[in-house]
Amino acid sequence: MSLELKNVEKKVGLETHIYSTNLKLEKNTINILLGSTLAGKTTLMQIMAGLDKPTSGEIWFNGENVTGKEVQKRNCSMVYQQFINYPNFTVFENIASPLKITGVKPDEIKARVGKVAELLKLSAMLNKKPDELSGGQQQRTALARALVKDSDLILLDEPLANLDFKLREELREELPKLFEDRDCIVVYATTEPLDALMIGGNTATLLEGNVIQYGKTLNVYNKPENLISAKVFSDPPMNIAEISKSGEIFKIKDNNVQWKSNIKIKDGNYKIGIRPHNITTYKEGDNSVEINGKVLISELSGSESLIHFTNGKLNWVSLSNGIQQKNIGENTKLFMNVDEFLYFDTNNRLVTNG
């Protein structure tokens, strides 16, 4: 089983929503579409589901061209950011609805709904209506409806975005387990890099209608093909600075911070990307370089401290463990972990990492 997009392009009027995209999703995988709002995640999913037709290009499923096939005739299910359930059905009827339409026998419906409800901890709520449930339970019902069908393709469009923090963490943890033994392709759209890292599988980074990079999630994170992919897959935002290299000496142009490294690249101009957690108030790793900064904002979340500071003309973001109390305007010393730097050439392509 596989889902393949071949040169898929979507235009609405004069605007291009999806630029020519090639993507092959394999059986039994969870695939994350990672990108900010309007990156084209939802459009791409709707094209995969058959809810929307591409302007050009083809969609192949299991070696069959399904480009023009109606959504009703495909075997897929979808969960939305909003909690979409039939308002006047009970939870049981809601979960059973896709089975009823396809004419499954009542006994079997009962058994299958019961099983899925148990999996999603809904067994006690089967007789309630959606508006009597909490947001988390409503979304579980929507998930159950998607799972009960044994679809070949399950699309999850930011399913956790409208949940509060605790519920989101809880459901995020359960999600990969739900799909573990299923014979299907899962596509999961999210704006949050953390979602991608926690769910794992494969990730495609998206920006403004372009699929930037697709591959194993950790691979995409550790070795972003280019600066754009690295930016999309970094939250808080990645620090980027222009540097020059001559011999073993690397120097940030803006502030003359310099370090030594023996990585084998030609002398010249480059850009570095530094993830916020690689700039800390304490030394980390064997190779670190000092940077002085004036604190702009410091946010404490208890286990982590986010410190925004300026150095030269640039604004920097750092993320340290624990509570690092800094006052606004204070001059402070931070350490950058040289081994974790990402080096890009002037065309924004990754040269090397570390």
Contacts with another protein by CB under 8 A lie at 46, 49, 51, 71-72, 76-78, 80-82, 84, 86-89, 97-98, 101-102, 131-132, 142, 145
Closer residue to another protein, CB minimum distance, 131 or 299: 131
In whole angstroms, the minimum distance from the beta carbon of 66 to another protein comes to 14
In whole angstroms, the minimum distance from the beta carbon of 323 to another protein comes to 35
For 259, other C-beta atoms within 10 Å of its C-beta total 17
In whole angstroms, the minimum distance from the beta carbon of 250 to another protein comes to 50
**For strand 185-190 and strand 30-34, is the pairing parallel, antiparallel, or unpaired?**
parallel
In whole angstroms, the minimum distance from the beta carbon of 100 to another protein comes to 9
Do 149 and 96 meet the contact criterion of CB atoms below 8 Å apart?
Answer: no
Do 263 and 352 meet the contact criterion of CB atoms below 8 Å apart?
Answer: yes
Q: Give the integer Cα–Cα distance in Å for 244 and 46.
A: 45
> Sign of the C-alpha dihedral, residues 128, 132, 136, 142?
positive
Closer residue to another protein, CB minimum distance, 46 or 226: 46
Contacts of 77 (CB under 8 A, 6+ apart): 98, 145, 146, 147, 149, 151, 153, 154, 155
In whole angstroms, the minimum distance from the beta carbon of 314 to another protein comes to 41
In whole angstroms, the minimum distance from the beta carbon of 77 to another protein comes to 6
Closer residue to another protein, CB minimum distance, 133 or 291: 133
Closer residue to another protein, CB minimum distance, 146 or 319: 146
Closer residue to another protein, CB minimum distance, 129 or 216: 129
3-state secondary structure of 204: strand
CA distances, 81 to each of 42, 188, 298 (Å): 10, 11, 31
Closer residue to another protein, CB minimum distance, 23 or 76: 76
Do 330 and 302 meet the contact criterion of CB atoms below 8 Å apart?
Answer: no
